[in-house]
Amino acid sequence: MKTQPDSNPDTLRQSTDTVISIKGLYKSFGDLHVLRGVDLEVNKGENVVVLGRSGTGKSVLIKIISGLLTADRGSVNVLGREVGELNEKELRDLRLKIGFSFQNSALYDSMTVRENLEFPLVRNNKNLTRKEINKSVEEVLESVGLSQTINQMPSELSGGQRKRIGIARTLIMNPDIMLYDEPTAGLDPTTCIEINELINEVKERYHTSSILITHDLTCAKMTGDRVAMLLDGQFLREGTFEEVFDSDDPRVKSFYDYNFTEDRV
Which residue spans within 52-185 are E strands per DSSP? Answer: 73-78, 81-82, 98-101, 177-181
Tell how far CA 105 is from the center of its chain. Answer: 12
Reduced to 3 states (helix: H, G, I; strand: E, B; else coil), residue 173 is: coil
Determine phi and psi for 67, rounding to 5 degrees. Answer: 80, 10
Q: Which of 60, 71, 92 is nearest to 25 (CA)?
A: 71
pLDDT for position 16: 52
pLDDT for position 6: 44
pLDDT for position 2: 35
Q: How far is CA 257 from CA 1, 26, 97, 149, 246, in A?
A: 45, 28, 37, 38, 14
**Mean pLDDT for each 10-residue chunk of the chain (265 residues)?**
41 63 96 95 96 86 93 96 94 93 86 96 91 96 96 95 94 95 92 96 96 94 95 92 91 76 43
In contact, 19 and 44? CB cutoff 8 Å: yes
- The reported pTM is 0.87
Determine phi and psi for 216, rounding to 5 degrees. Answer: -90, 110
Q: Which residues pair with 154 in a beta bridge?
A: none
Tell how far CA 204 is from the center of its chain. Answer: 15
Q: What is the identity of the amino acid at 49?
A: V
